Structure 1
Amino acid sequence: MKSLILRWNQISLVKRIIVGIILGVILAVTIPEYTNWVTIFGSLFVGALKAIAPVLVLFLVMYAVAKHRSGHKTNMKSIIALYAISTFLAGLVAVIASFLFPVTISLVPGAKDVTPPSGILEVLQTLLFNIVDNPINALMNANYIGILTWAIVLGVALRNAAETTKTMLGNFSNAVSLLVKWVINLAPIGIMGLVFEAIVSNGLSALVDYGKLLMVLLGCMIFIAFVINPLIVFINIRKNPYPLVFRCIKDSAITAFFTRSSAANIPVNMRLCENLKLDKNTYSVSIPLGATINMAGAAVTISVLTLAAVNTLNIQVDIGTALILSVVSAVSAAGTSGVAGGSLLLIPLASSLFGIPDDIAMQVVGVGFIIGVLQDSCETALNSSSDVLYTATAEYAKMRKEGKEVIMNP
């Protein structure tokens, strides 16, 4: 048995995940009534990732800031700029696609009992209050803005601490990182359970009536992943971007697609950054930050569903309002982490630009929940894999400016 486990672990993680996906599909299609216990593996896997991620972020960021020495520059400004540019372009692509391929929807009641934010100010206010959240509460509720804030503040306070204290922080950081590796190693079994549950619980029949809407949504996300993102990377590093793009999709997007949680994918992205040999002082901050503000997929969802409601109601949209929608969707998407329900609950906010009443806008949210089986999975995959992509891009761009050879790890 020990020899079998060792051989299994020697196979690449992606191949093991593919085996897990195939097994999940086979069990769900053939004998679902006898294998419903498989779903517990998916719940345990996602639960373990969500549980370890806040602790990982706290210790990694705190240690990185505490041991940071003056003169050692990070790439955070460049990364934040890349996050902002890509999210805006995602909203713009979604607006253009909605004009080229107008979609209407059958408005049906059924939005969940939720309350959307009343405006951008409420979204920003929520984010600001998350910054000053109680640190214990932030850890318990996976409030990454709050966790980041406290980790940075504590790290700065510990800069003048004794080396033994910093060594202890480093040991805790390494120990938590090891726990993450153990959890990620269980991904094939966890994803088998997630695939099984998705097929048995939802199927794909509910998506047939919304096929055209899904095609526009997913088409935008695919276009951003394989055209816009590579273009931004190429402009920055002046080299073929696709080896890096495919690496991020293979090692980050696939896992994010099935977990449907940017927070749960933080440990996966940290490990990928480590494998790419990126600067730990940078990615220990940029990855959890990206999980909260780098939301290209959310910007697509907000724009496409809002304009679907606009088309359904025969509201005329001029170019100026469409551009404003791109900005609003980008800003709103960056604030989705501070609003329960994510990107779908910000649709009423964007709809208010066109005078669409809340009761109709919430029906659109209901449609969003129906197609969420694929929409949310693809949105999370795009958002999360882009965090690593732009962290690596900023570092490679810095190397190029310094005249160093940029070696893309395929």
Structure 2
Amino acid sequence: MRNIIKKWTKSSLILKIVIGLIIGAILGVTVPGVSIIGLPGELFVTALKAIAPILVFVLVSSAISKAGSGIGSRFKTVIFLYMFSTLLAAMVAVAGSYLFPVSIHLSSISNITPPSGFEEIVSNMLLKIFSNPLKALVEGEYLGILFWAIVLGIALKMVANDTTKDVLSDLADSITIIVRGIIQFAPIGIMGLVFKSVSESGLGIFTQYGQLILLLVGCIAVVAFVTDPILAGLTLKRNPYPLVFKCLRESGITAFFSRSSAANIPVNMQLCERLGLDRDFYSISIPLGSAINMEGAAITITVMTLAVCHTLGISVSLPLTIVLCIISTLAACGSSGVAGGSLLLIPMACSLFGISSDISMQAVAVGFIIGVIQDSCETALNSSGDALFSATAEYHDRAKRGEEMNYLGEFAK
């Protein structure tokens, strides 16, 4: 048994995930009624969601308590990359919507209540930040977890001795070992998740909303393979694609099928560790990215809003598209504080064009119909971007300090 476990852990995780993906798809087509096959996927996502809040809280507290000087510039860089890439994603969505305008069928009205405006989004975010830390841990509210972990880390840095900090560091290492163990079950979990998606949704979803899905996925692909690499390449002054493909392969695939940024936080942290990043940095930048790096959400909000405008025959001027991009960027960054995520922020963007909530909520209903694909692609882009820009910020900082390295060699590990 020990030899089997050793061989399993040393073999290629990506290869095992691909095999699990294929097996899950085949089983979803051939035996869709055997629902028990999907159970490993639910268990895998549940385990990651359970450990992620504790992992983030302990790692961030430990990192802050022991952090030295010199990582502030990295945080400035990664926050800029998160925000600017989200704005670029909204611009790509505008360009795609103009080049390939789509219409949607507006008939049924959803009874879900969207946020009344940007003020409510900000209010929700602030309430989550200052919520009870135990409640934040239990419910996985990462804005609150980050805030209280930083506060605790600063307090420990001021008053704790080295022994206390070492104990916290050991606790962080122990939780990291648990995460590594959970991730070893990723191939089996992916198999279950793929089976569930294929058996429940099939291919019928492509028929009614095929053009809208293609537009959304096309914009996400342009951001993932063009604008994000350009941004990373300009920052690093090197070929970014080895890093881009590694992040998409090792983070994006898992996020696509789990459809949960929270569940992918441990996966991203493991990826950052393999990339040789500073744990004091990525233990904060990764959960921060899961809250504010929302390129996929910006694309969804923009594309769906312009689809409603096109359906209603509303002409959108250039100044209004610029305002829409800015609103989509800010709203996307606040989508983690809204139940329902990016879809429920569509009415707020539609209000910019005088579209009533009765009509815009029909677009939300369409979004929920195509959510299996839209949410999967959106999460994959957001989560892989967290790892990509964390690595970009750190490598940029190292280059500024004259610490040359073989990037291709590091990315190939």
Alpha-carbon contact 2:136-2:145 (below 8 Å) kept: yes
Q: Does 2:130 match 1:121?
A: no
2:203 aligned partner, one-letter code: L
| 1:12 aligned residue | 12
TM-score by length of 2: 0.96
Shift of 1:100: 1.2
Q: Does 2:54 match 1:46?
A: no
TM-score by length of 1: 0.97
Alpha-carbon contact 1:108-1:367 (below 8 Å) kept: no
1:26 aligned partner, one-letter code: I
Distance 2:71 2:382 in 1: 28
| 1:291 aligned residue | 290
1:220-267 Cα offsets, whole Å, 9 max, x none, are 100001110110011111110100000101110000000000110000
In structure 2, stretches of 5+ residues that fail to align are none
2:120 aligned partner, one-letter code: E
Moved more, 227-236 or 100-109: 100-109
Alpha-carbon contact 1:83-1:390 (below 8 Å) kept: yes
| 2:258 aligned residue | 259
Distance 1:140 1:248 in 2: 29
1:153 aligned partner, one-letter code: V
Shift of 1:6: 3.0
Alignment of 1:232-247 (within 5 A): 232-247=231-246
Shift of 1:400: 2.1
In structure 1, stretches of 5+ residues that fail to align are none
Shift of 1:26: 1.5
Alignment of 1:160-175 (within 5 A): 160-175=159-174
Distance 2:26 2:280 in 1: 43
Alignment of 1:317-332 (within 5 A): 317-332=316-331
Distance 1:84 1:380 in 2: 16
Shift of 1:219: 0.6
| 1:366 aligned residue | 365
Distance 1:168 1:351 in 2: 51
Shift of 1:72: 5.5
1:4 aligned partner, one-letter code: I
Shift of 1:209: 1.3
Change (3 A) 1:9 1:207: same
| 1:375 aligned residue | 374
What number of residue pairs does the alignment pair up?
408
Determine which of 147, 150, 153 is the counterpart of 1:152: 150
Shift of 1:328: 0.4
1:137-173 Cα offsets, whole Å, 9 max, x none, are 0001111010000000000000130111111101110
2:177 aligned partner, one-letter code: L
2:378 aligned partner, one-letter code: E
Shift of 1:201: 1.1
Corresponding residue SS for 1:181? helix
| 1:142 aligned residue | 140
Corresponding residue SS for 2:261? coil
Change (3 A) 1:233 1:101: same
1:24 aligned partner, one-letter code: G
Distance 1:359 1:73 in 2: 46
Shift of 1:110: 5.8
Alignment of 1:185-196 (within 5 A): 185-196=184-195
